[in-house]
C-alpha cells in the first residue's frame, strides 16, 4: 500500500489532529481501572486477575510495535491506523461477548490480545510521519500526538463510569459498555485514517522545515546493536513501571489510602482521580517533551527519574496523612510518566536520525511490554499478599513503593550512560525514505 502524499500547499498542522484521533481512542487503556471493581464483583476475580487484560494489552502493544514497526515505515500511517482501528474495536467487541457470557478468557483475549495489537500499531503509526513533518521541533510534534494517548482516559474514565451507572455493574452492563466503546472508537479513529498524509518531496521544506536529514542516520537493524538503544530501553522500562503501577490501580488505591479517614473516597471521586491522572499524563506529554527541545533529552529524563523517586518517597512516608499531598505527588509522577513516552521518539531521533526512527521506536516499546507486566504485578501482588496478612489502607502499598524507588534509581543510572552513537553504526548514504531495515548496511569504517 502506498501512503497518501500531501498535495502542494497541504498544512502540516493537519497531521497532529489525525494522530490525536487515534491516540485519544487507544488511550482508553489508561481508564481500565474503572472496570476493575465491577469485573471483580461480577466475575469473582482478584485484583491480580482483573489486571490481566490491561497487562496483556500493554505486552501486545510493545510486541506489535516492535514487529510491526518496519511495516508501518513501509506502508505508511494510513495503513497502520486502519489496522489499529480494526484490532482495537474488534477487541472491545470480543470483550463485550466475554462479559455477556461470563467467559473472562474472552475479555482477556479481546481487550488484551486483539485490542493490544491495535494499541501497538496505533501508537507508533504517526510518530515517524510527525518527525518528518516537524524536523525542526520533534519533541513538540510527537508530544502533541502522544499526549492523546495519555489524555484518552480523561474522556474514557468519566464516560465509562457514567455508562456503568446507567447500564449496571453486572456482567450484562459491563458487556454493553464494552460494545458502545468499540463502536464509538471505530468511528472516531476513522477520522484520522481519512485525514493523515505524508510529506511530498518538498512538503516539509515548503513549511519552513529542514529538507535533508541532518546528523547521524542509523537503521533499525543497527540501532539494536548499540549500547545507546539498550540504555534507553532500561530508562523507558523503569520510568513506565513506576508510572503504570499507580495508573493501573489508581481508583482502588486512593480508596484504600483514605478508607479509614474522616473523608473516605467514593467510587465517583476515585473515577475523577483517574481522570486527573490522565490530565497530568497528557499535560506531561506535551509540556515536558516541548521542554526537552530547549533543555535536552538527557536533562529532562534526569528530572523524570530523580524527581519521580522523590515523589514516591513522599507518598510512602506521608501520603495517607494528607490527601492533597497524595494527589499532587501522583499527578507529578504521571506527568513524568507521560513525558517519558513523548520525549523518547525525539531522543531516538537525536541518537539515530530520522531514517527508520519509527521502526526503532517500535522495537524500544518492548520495554513497555515488560513494564506493563511489572508495574501492575508489583503493586497488585504486594497488595494481595499484605491483605492476606491482615493489613489494610496505605500499608498495602509501602513495599511496592519502595521497589518503585529502586527501579527509578536504576533508570537514572542508565540515562547517565547514554552517549552519541559510534560512527561505525551510521549509514554510508542517508536516505529520506525507509524501506526494509534489513536492506540498510552501515558504512565501512
SS3 label, residue 9: coil
What does the block give as the cell for 104?
473472562
> What radius of gyration, in Å, describes the C-alpha atoms of the chain?
21
Q: What is the pTM of this model?
A: 0.77
pLDDT given at position 201: 65
- Do 139 and 292 meet the contact criterion of CB atoms below 8 Å apart? yes
- Do 232 and 359 meet the contact criterion of CB atoms below 8 Å apart? no
**In whole angstroms, what is the distance from residue 238 CA to residue 44 CA?**
32
**In whole angstroms, what is the distance from residue 249 CA to residue 356 CA?**
35
CA distance readout (Å), 297 to 138, 156, 327, 419, 423? 11, 31, 27, 12, 20
**In whole angstroms, what is the distance from residue 203 CA to residue 208 CA?**
9
SS3 label, residue 249: coil
How far from the centroid of its chain's Cα atoms is residue 74's Cα?
23
Closest alpha carbon to 346 in 304, 412, 292, 282: 292
In the structure, how many helices (H) and strands (E) does the chain have? 19, 0
How far from the centroid of its chain's Cα atoms is residue 128's Cα?
16
- Do 379 and 199 meet the contact criterion of CB atoms below 8 Å apart? no
Closest alpha carbon to 361 in 176, 275, 232: 232
CA distance readout (Å), 86 to 24, 56, 118, 120? 16, 18, 7, 13
- Do 236 and 44 meet the contact criterion of CB atoms below 8 Å apart? no
Residues in a beta bridge with 5? 198
Please return the burial class of 321, using the count of CB atoms within 10 Å of its CB with bins 0-12, 13-18 and 19+.
exposed
DSSP state of 213: -
Residue spans of beta strands (DSSP E) within 6-156: none
What does the block give as the cell for 142?
510527537
SS3 label, residue 198: strand
pLDDT given at position 206: 43
Closest alpha carbon to 177 in 84, 99, 60, 87: 99
Mean pLDDT by 10 residues, the chain (445 residues): 76 87 90 88 87 88 85 86 96 96 94 95 85 81 78 82 92 95 95 87 49 70 94 96 84 83 78 82 88 92 96 87 88 92 90 86 88 86 83 81 94 96 77 45 40
pLDDT given at position 202: 58
SS3 label, residue 442: strand
**In whole angstroms, what is the distance from residue 101 CA to residue 32 CA?**
20
DSSP state of 210: -
Amino acid at each position: 500500500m502506498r501512503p497518501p502524499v500531501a498535495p502542494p500547499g497541504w498544512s502540516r498542522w493537519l497531521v497532529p489532529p489525525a494522530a490525536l484521533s487515534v491516540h485519544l481512542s487507544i488511550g482508553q487503556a489508561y481508564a481500565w481501572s474503572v472496570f476493575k471493581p465491577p469485573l471483580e464483583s461480577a466475575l469473582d476475580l482478584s485484583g491480580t486477575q482483573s489486571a490481566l487484560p490491561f497487562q496483556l494489552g500493554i505486552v501486545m502493544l510493545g510486541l506489535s510495535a516492535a514487529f510491526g514497526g518496519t511495516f508501518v515505515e513501509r506502508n505508511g500511517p494510513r495503513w497502520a491506523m486502519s489496522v489499529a482501528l480494526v484490532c482495537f474495536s474488534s477487541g472491545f467487541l470480543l470483550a463485550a461477548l466475554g462479559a455477556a457470557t461470563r467467559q473472562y478468557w474472552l475479555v482477556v483475549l479481546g481487550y488484551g490480545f486483539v485490542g493490544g495489537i491495535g494499541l501497538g500499531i496505533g501508537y507508533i503509526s504517526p510518530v515517524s510521519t510527525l518527525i518528518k513533518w516537524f524536523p525542526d521541533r520533534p519533541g513538540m510534534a510527537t508530544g502533541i500526538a502522544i499526549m492523546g494517548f495519555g489524555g484518552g482516559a480523561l474522556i474514557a474514565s468519566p464516560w465509562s463510569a457514567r455508562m456503568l451507572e446507567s447500564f449496571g455493574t453486572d456482567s450484562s452492563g459491563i458487556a454493553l459498555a464494552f460494545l458502545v466503546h468499540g463502536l464509538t472508537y471505530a468511528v472516531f479513529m476513522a477520522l484520522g485514517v481519512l485525514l493523515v498524509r505524508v510529506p511530498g518531496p518538498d512538503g516539509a521544506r515548503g513549511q519552513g522545515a529542514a529538507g535533508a536529514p541532518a546528523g547521524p542516520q542509523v537503521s533499525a537493524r543497527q540501532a539494536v546493536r548499540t549500547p545507546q538503544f539498550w540504555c534507553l530501553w532500561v530508562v523507558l522500562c523503569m520510568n513506565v513501571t513506576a508510572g503504570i503501577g499507580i495508573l493501573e490501580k489508581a481508583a482502588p488505591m486512593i480508596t484504600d489510602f483514605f478508607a479509614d479517614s474522616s473523608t473516605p473516597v467514593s467510587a465517583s471521586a476515585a473515577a475523577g482521580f483517574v481522570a486527573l491522572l490522565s490530565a497530568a499524563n497528557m499535560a506531561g506529554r506535551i509540556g515536558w517533551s516541548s521542554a526537552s527541545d530547549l533543555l535536552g533529552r538527557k536533562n529532562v529524563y534526569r528530572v523524570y527519574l530523580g524527581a519521580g523517586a522523590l515523589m514516591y518517597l513522599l507518598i510512602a512516608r506521608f501520603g495517607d496523612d494528607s490527601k492533597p499531598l497524595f494527589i499532587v505527588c501522583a499527578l507529578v509522577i504521571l506527568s513524568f510518566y507521560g513525558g517519558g513516552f513523548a520525549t523518547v521518539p525525539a531522543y531516538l531521533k537525536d541518537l539515530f536520525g530520522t531514517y527508520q526512527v519509527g521502526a526503532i521506536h517500535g522495537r524500544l516499546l518492548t520495554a513497555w511490554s515488560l513494564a506493563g507486566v511489572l508495574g501492575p504485578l508489583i503493586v497488585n501482588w504486594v497488595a494481595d499478599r499484605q491483605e492476606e496478612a491482615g493489613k489494610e489502607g496505605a500499608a498495602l502499598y509501602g513495599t511496592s513503593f519502595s521497589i518503585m524507588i529502586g527501579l527509578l534509581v536504576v533508570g537514572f543510572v542508565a540515562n547517565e550512560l547514554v552517549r552519541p552513537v559510534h560512527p561505525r553504526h551510521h549509514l554510508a548514504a542517508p536516505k529520506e525514505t525507509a524501506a526494509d531495515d534489513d536492506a540498510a548496511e552501515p558504512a565501512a569504517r
